[in-house]
């Protein structure tokens, strides 16, 4: 029994009208072994089994053996082929793909800080390579998994018309600026070659497969709580975020791929915002007894608040998607999944 069965059934119910367009589909997913990728694979394989789609998916991975070890039920599925290679230079698989989803960029704060040129090169050249493949194999749709980082340090809730950008004098802008260039490459490819590209700008998420020990605040808080606490807020607790549950994320991504307007950008995330201090307390409230919350720094008077929250009005209005899962339920589901499945499947490698 798949421990995500209830979530997968809900995703299938909310995307029922989409899957007829995936009958006999042949997909390529880059970044298919990370957080987004695992959910795309879980939901695709579930729909394939339930609906008899006869779909297949090729997953590009730098470390296919590590992926097989961590999530064998995905990697060893008969509909899945693992293709080894670096997203910048991989050999084309020599087959036709109907749909390509490109997300092979590790959202690593460590890499962004320590190897910004490597980060930028991976994003830009990986996008160029997958777009070339899409044109060579005649793909009908191409989805770029971009990021809200393209807006830089924008104030307030940003929508897709916002033209703020990362600070070009800051080397830490490599990730956000790389995603901007990736989006530009998609626009050029669509205008020059007619490829139907769509773009999903992701914000913050929670759910099974989310890495617990990296720079994702909610993952760290859940890890602290599972270990009995205290939950440590390493900053001053004033940063503002919002969190979309992973199953809801999958609904949004499949909808954008299959129904999004070509050339259109869609923010992907939740609008219910809260500070990291409030988030830590929300995580604590889902445990019995609630662990202590420790905020390690004091707020700086008059400091600019770090906000990373999208407006999702466009996606909700045009595509009919919603943030279906309340945050408390999302925290409970994620924590329960980690308890039952252990940390070995968390943050599956790319």
In the numeric block, which tokens belong to residue 45? 């394989």
Q: Which residues contact residue 284 at a Cβ distance below 8 angstroms, ignoring those fewer than 6 apart?
A: 225, 229, 231, 290, 291, 292, 293
| Rounded distance between C-alpha atoms, residue 289 and residue 228, angstroms | 9
* 213 — pLDDT class (breaks 50, 70, 90): confident
In the numeric block, which tokens belong to residue 228? 């009995």
Instruction: Supply the pLDDT for residue 348.
Output: 45
Instruction: Supply the pLDDT for residue 350.
Output: 36
Residues present in the chain in total: 350
Instruction: Supply the pLDDT for residue 349.
Output: 40
| Rounded distance between C-alpha atoms, residue 100 and residue 134, angstroms | 7
- CA distance to 3, 22, 38, 227, per residue, from 48 (Å): 18, 9, 15, 37
pLDDT tens digit sequence for 76-98: 999 999 999 999 999 999 999 99
CATH number at residue 45: 3.40.50.720
- Examine residue 290 and state whether it is found in any structural domain, yes or no: no
- Examine residue 292 and state whether it is found in any structural domain, yes or no: no
Instruction: Supply the pLDDT for residue 1.
Output: 80
Contact 202, 150 (CB under 8 A): no
Q: Which of 245, 242, 270 is nearest to 335 (CA)?
A: 245
Contact 337, 222 (CB under 8 A): no
107: pLDDT strictly greater than 60: no
Instruction: Supply the pLDDT for residue 105.
Output: 72
Region class of 82: left (phi > 0), else alpha (psi between -120 and 50), else beta: beta
pLDDT tens digit sequence for 321-330: 999 999 999 9
| Rounded distance between C-alpha atoms, residue 301 and residue 16, angstroms | 50
- Examine residue 88 and state whether it is found in any structural domain, yes or no: yes
| Rounded distance between C-alpha atoms, residue 349 and residue 106, angstroms | 9
Number of domains into which the chain is organized: 1
- Examine residue 254 and state whether it is found in any structural domain, yes or no: yes
Instruction: Supply the pLDDT for residue 346.
Output: 53
- Examine residue 293 and state whether it is found in any structural domain, yes or no: no
| Rounded distance between C-alpha atoms, residue 19 and residue 324, angstroms | 20
**Mean pLDDT across the chain:** 94
- Examine residue 215 and state whether it is found in any structural domain, yes or no: no
| Rounded distance between C-alpha atoms, residue 177 and residue 344, angstroms | 32
Query: What is the b/e burial string over 280-316, where b = at least 16 CB atoms within 10 angstroms of the residue's CB?
Result: bbbbbebbeeebebebeeeeeeeeeeebbbbbbebbb
- Examine residue 218 and state whether it is found in any structural domain, yes or no: no
The single residue listed with the structure tokens 């092979």 is: 104
Region 203-218: mean pLDDT is: 92
- Examine residue 231 and state whether it is found in any structural domain, yes or no: no
pLDDT tens digit sequence for 286-311: 999 999 999 999 999 888 899 999 99
Residue 140 belongs to what domain range? 5-209+243-271+310-324
Give the whole-number percent of the chain exceeding pLDDT 70. 96
């Amino acid at each position: 029994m798949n421990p995500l069965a209830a979530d997968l059934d809900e995703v299938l119910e909310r995307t029922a009208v989409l899957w007829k367009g995936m009958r006999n589909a042949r997909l390529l997913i880059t970044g298919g072994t990370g957080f987004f990728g695992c959910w795309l694979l879980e939901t695709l394989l579930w729909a394939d089994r339930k609906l008899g789609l006869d779909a297949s998916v090729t997953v590009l991975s730098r470390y296919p053996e590590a992926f097989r070890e961590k999530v064998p039920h995905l990697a060893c599925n008969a509909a899945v082929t693992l293709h080894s290679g670096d997203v910048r230079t991989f050999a084309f698989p020599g087959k036709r793909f109907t749909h390509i989803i490109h997300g092979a960029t590790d959202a690593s704060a460590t890499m962004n800080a320590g190897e910004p040129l490597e980060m930028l090169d991976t994003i830009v050249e990986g996008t160029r390579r997958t777009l070339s493949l899409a044109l060579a194999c005649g793909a009908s749709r191409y989805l770029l998994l971009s990021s809200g980082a393209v807006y830089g340090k924008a104030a307030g809730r940003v929508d897709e018309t916002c033209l703020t950008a990362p600070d070009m004098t800051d080397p830490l802008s490599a990730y956000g600026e790389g995603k901007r260039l990736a989006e530009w490459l998609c626009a050029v490819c669509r205008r020059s070659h007619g490829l139907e590209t769509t773009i999903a700008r992701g914000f913050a998420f929670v759910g099974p497969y989310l890495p617990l020990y990296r720079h994702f605040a909610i993952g760290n808080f859940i890890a602290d709580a599972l270990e009995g606490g205290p939950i440590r807020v390493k900053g001053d607790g004033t940063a503002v975020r919002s969190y979309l549950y992973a199953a809801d994320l999958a609904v949004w991504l499949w909808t954008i791929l299959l129904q999004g307007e070509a050339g259109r950008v869609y923010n992907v995330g939740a609008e219910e915002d809260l500070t990291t201090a409030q988030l830590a307390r929300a995580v604590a409230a889902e445990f019995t007894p609630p662990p202590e919350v420790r905020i390690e720094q004091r707020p700086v008077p008059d400091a600019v608040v770090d906000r990373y929250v999208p407006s999702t009005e466009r996606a909700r209005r045009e595509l009919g998607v919603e943030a279906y899962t309340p945050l408390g339920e999302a925290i409970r589901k994620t924590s329960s999944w980690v308890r039952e499945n252990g940390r070995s499947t968390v943050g599956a490698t790319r």
